[in-house]
Every structure is written in C-alpha cells, then in structure tokens.
Amino acid sequence: MAAIPRQVSVMGLPFQVRLVDSDKILLETHNPEALAAISTHRGIIWIDRDSTEEVQQASLLHEVIHAINNSLNLNMTEEAICALGVLLRDFLVGNRLWLPNNPQERAGGEQE
C-alpha cells in the first residue's frame, strides 16, 4: 500500500499533511474521537500517527472531502463525508490507483 503523501492539492490549493499525536488533533477539533483534522486557512491536514495506514488513508480523504464540501457549499452531512472517505480509499487502493508519485513521498506525511 502507498504511504500518506507529505502534501496534497485540493481545488488548486496546497495542503501540508502532518502525522501527529492524537493530542494535536484533539486541540484542533475538541473531539476526542477524531482521527484527523483540517485547517483550510492554514493549509494543513493533521492525521493521527498511531492509526493504521488504512485509517490514515481514509482520514486523509475524509479531510479532503471536508475541504471540497466547505469550498463548494455542498452541505454534505458528516455521515456522508465519512462514508465517502472510506469508499474512495477502498476504490483507489483496490484499483491500484493510490500510488506515490516519487520515492520521497513513500516516507509518509511530515512528522510533527
């Protein structure tokens, strides 16, 4: 399976991807069950470093969907965003479409 990229582009905007302790995610979300968080104005996505690679991938997609949902005012529910993140991850990995662009990206998201 592919590692988490260090940076992604969402609707033309760059986002740094950082693997962090769950305390950082709690600080950003105030939700003890959150596995990831996004700051669109800072261009950062935080993902729980202790999650499995599969959960990290689905969490990254989940946060990207939040960015798209917010930017386009799609009014998707949290349940829809959760489901879509998992389904997209399964589609991309299952069809071997989630592949790193270069060897440096295989190291995973930036550690914080």
Report if residue 1 sits inside a domain: no
- What are residue 20's DSSP bridge partners? 48
- CA–CA separation, 81 and 64 (whole Å): 10
This prediction's pTM: 0.85
Report if residue 98 sits inside a domain: yes
Per-residue pLDDT, 99? 66
β 44-48/7-10 pair status: unpaired
Which structural domain, as residue segments, surrounds residue 23? 7-111
Report if residue 17 sits inside a domain: yes
Report if residue 60 sits inside a domain: yes
Helix (H) or strand (E) holding 14: strand 13-20
Mean pLDDT of 78-106: 80
**Percent of the chain clearing pLDDT 90 (strictly above):** 77
Number of domains composing the chain = 1
Q: Looking at the predicted structure, is the pLDDT value of residue 74 above 50?
A: yes
